[in-house]
Amino acid sequence: MDLQMVDLRTQIEATRPEIDAAIAAVLDRGAFVRGPFVAAFEAELATYLAGLGSDADVFALGVGNGTDALQIALMALGVGPGDEVVCPSFTFVATAEAAALLGATPVFVDVDPVTFNLDPAKLKAALSTRTKAVVPVHLFGQCADVPAIRAVCDPLGIPVVEDMAQAIGATWNGQPAGTLGALGCLSFYPSKNLGAFGDGGAIVTTDPELADRVRQIANHGAAKKYHHTAVGVNSRLDAIQASILSVHLRHLPAWTQARRAAAALYDGAFAGMDDVVRPVRVPEARHVFHQYTLRVPAELRDDLAADLKARGVPTMIYYPEPIHRMPPYTTGAVLPETDRACREVLSLPMHPYLTAQQVAFVADAVRQSLAPVTA
Ligand SMILES: Cc1ncc(COP(=O)(O)O)c(C=O)c1O
């Protein structure tokens, strides 16, 4: 059985005529940077997010990648040297790197062991007078509890930036990710739920003033052409990627359904299996399953991964090392749930074209791998 963590080949086969036409339209028009294809995708993205249940209009700005999106969002909030930005340590490094690039200090909060997301109960202790923003991550496709995080932050005037790189289409109490805090940051890395065929990212917000600010910062700090009122960056979503993303966005609702259906099949297959903790859905959250991540006992995890590989089942460990233990970010923070998650997580193949047979094959392989232990 041909199993992959993410099967872009099958996806491309299914969408090839639409993709070819979209790229051809960009070549015919010769508009490669900014211009109508990027504007169209930005509008479609805003409409898609608003349609998930936003109370307010959504603004969307395409940028170069998800890391830039985070950096620009923090710049729009005035983050700079001497400031602190609070975020989880159990995430991709970019979440903390964006703050560090601006001369700010990332301050790490432990995760909730059930969801792997920033634990709101532990947030207050991490805040200081220097905290300029809090960046929860909607890890693996399930929203962090932003209302609980905001209940701590709002009275102190600390804005929340959602790292929603893994969570387009996710909602919390019917409100879409990206509209729960001040700004939301997306990555369109090819393996993401909405992926380009190269790098790409976006910043979304319901605040028109912040929308203007991020647009200027991403364009060299230009208020209008050749008039630069702030130090900015050059971060652009290119038109070919935007045209591809417009095609993919049309498929996203069906792809998200397919991911959720595959997750439900995995859940059924792992029900009652010793040594396997399935992803827990929070009732308020609509999980979009960027990853289907099991928790298994640390002493079994690496052998299980190796055995699954031998059986033809790829797996990944997101993430093997927490950021707070990486040399540039070492703070001495004590984050036991983060450390435990790094030792216990194992992500299985997950993508919209995963078949019921493939899910059954993976689940059987896991069962057989663990059999000597669970028997
Ligand atoms: C949680 C998280 N944040 C940020 C990023 C950075 O996105 P990019 O790779 O597009 O810069 C990623 C993806 O790689 C991610 O998974």
Q: DSSP assignment, residue 232?
A: -
CA distance 327 to 359: 38
Give residue 373's pLDDT.
52
User: Which of 135, 187, 241 gets mutated to test ligand 1 (max ligand atoms within 8 A of its CB)?
Assistant: 187
CA distance 135 to 148: 13
Residue 285 bridge partners (DSSP):
172
CATH topology of 8-109+116-246 equal to that of 252-374?
A: no
Tens digits of residue pLDDT in 190-233: 999 999 999 999 999 999 999 999 999 999 999 899 999 999 99
- Give mean pLDDT, residues 10-27: 98
CA distance 115 to 311: 29
Domain residue limits, the chain: 8-109+116-246, 252-374
CATH number for the domain formed by residue range(s) 252-374: 3.90.1150.10
User: Which of 5, 140, 189, 350 gets mutated to test ligand 1 (max ligand atoms within 8 A of its CB)?
Assistant: 189
Residue 348 bridge partners (DSSP):
292
Residue nearest to atom 4 of ligand 1 (CA): 94
Is the pLDDT score of 374 beyond 70? no
Q: Are strands 131-134 and 84-88 parallel, antiparallel or unpaired?
A: parallel
Tens digits of residue pLDDT in 127-174: 999 999 999 999 999 999 999 999 999 999 999 999 999 999 999 999
- In which order are the strands placed within the sheet that holds 175-176? 175-176, 171-172, 285-286
Tens digits of residue pLDDT in 337-346: 999 999 999 9
Largest CA distance in the chain: 71
Residue 105 bridge partners (DSSP):
84
Tens digits of residue pLDDT in 276-328: 999 999 999 999 999 999 999 999 999 999 999 999 999 999 999 999 999 99
Tens digits of residue pLDDT in 52-67: 999 899 999 999 999 9
Q: Are strands 59-63 and 292-295 parallel, antiparallel or unpaired?
A: unpaired
Is the pLDDT score of 375 beyond 50? no
Residue 107 bridge partners (DSSP):
86
Highest CATH level, class, for 8-109+116-246:
alpha beta
> What separation in Å is there between the alpha carbon of 275 and the centre of ligand 1?
30
Helix (H) or strand (E) holding 112: none
> What separation in Å is there between the alpha carbon of 246 and the centre of ligand 1?
20
DSSP E strand boundaries for the chain: 59-63, 84-88, 105-109, 131-134, 161-163, 171-172, 175-176, 183-187, 201-205, 222-224, 227-228, 285-286, 292-295, 345-348
Residues lining ligand 1, Cβ inside 6 A: 65-67, 91-92, 94-95, 137, 163, 165-166, 187, 189, 199, 201
- Residue 268 CB contacts under 8 Å (≥ 6 apart), including other chains: none
Nearest CA to 180 out of 214, 144, 215 is that of 144
Nearest CA to 142 out of 164, 119, 174, 113 is that of 164
Catalytic annotation, pick one of 192, 224, 225, 309:
192
Tell me, yes or no, if 192 is annotated catalytic: yes
Indicate the SS3 state at residue 371: helix
Q: Does residue 319 have a cis bond before it (omega within 30 degrees)?
A: yes
